[in-house]
Amino acid sequence: MKNIAVFASGSGSNFIKINENIINNNINGKIKVLISNNPRCDAVEYAIKNNINFKIINNHRYPEKKIKDKEYQNILSKSEIDLILLAGFMKKIPFSIIENFKNKIMNIHPSILPSFGGPGFYGIKVHEAVIESGNKLTGATVHFVDEEYDRGPIIFQKSIDVLSDDGPTDLSKKVLKIEHEIYSKVVKYYCENKIKIIKDKVVISE
């Protein structure tokens, strides 16, 4: 069983879906801690209701960067974390964590990377950009996290058609369904030791 930490700032819908799959024995893991910068977000509320340990780490509580970064490390070490999942976390991960958890941090992005990724491409902005571009396909990508936004090794992608009458909100709802599906699938594979990186490429043995 893998010990999992989730980082979330908002609704945490992927966090919730993954935890539901853990409860239903579809994923051989346990969410040991939720880390959030936003004490009033839905993800924290869900953690409280479901007896999941959580930690609030933000500039207000930890104004000194060194102390804040150390607090991240402390909670991850204390929880003996094997895998970190980003689920709508709106802060940059400290470089020390990326180094210490190389190929053990995953993120879900609402586009087919590398298209519509990087700084400024998040949330509804991604779907607005997809529609404005005229692209006929979009989707979601699960990838490992490195020091560059949305540039780590791609683990899994799934695409859908962009219809002529799709607006950004319509597209976001469709893509979110894909996110819930593929993020849980990838976490399941990881917890079963089915994901490996060979020559900088991700290989999944189903």
Give the active site residues. 109
For residues 29 and 18, give the distance between their C-alpha atoms in angstroms, rounded to a whole number: 10
Q: Which residues share a beta bridge with 138?
A: 160
Task: For residue 136, report the phi and psi dihedrals to the nearest 5 degrees.
Answer: -95, -5
List of residues 6+ apart from 41 with CB closer than 8 A: 8, 9, 10, 11, 12
The alpha carbon of 168 is separated from its chain's Cα centroid by a whole number of angstroms, namely 21
For residues 143 and 195, give the distance between their C-alpha atoms in angstroms, rounded to a whole number: 12
Cis ω on the peptide bond leading into residue 114 (within 30° of 0)? yes
Contact 186, 152 (CB under 8 A): no
List of residues 6+ apart from 80 with CB closer than 8 A: 3, 32
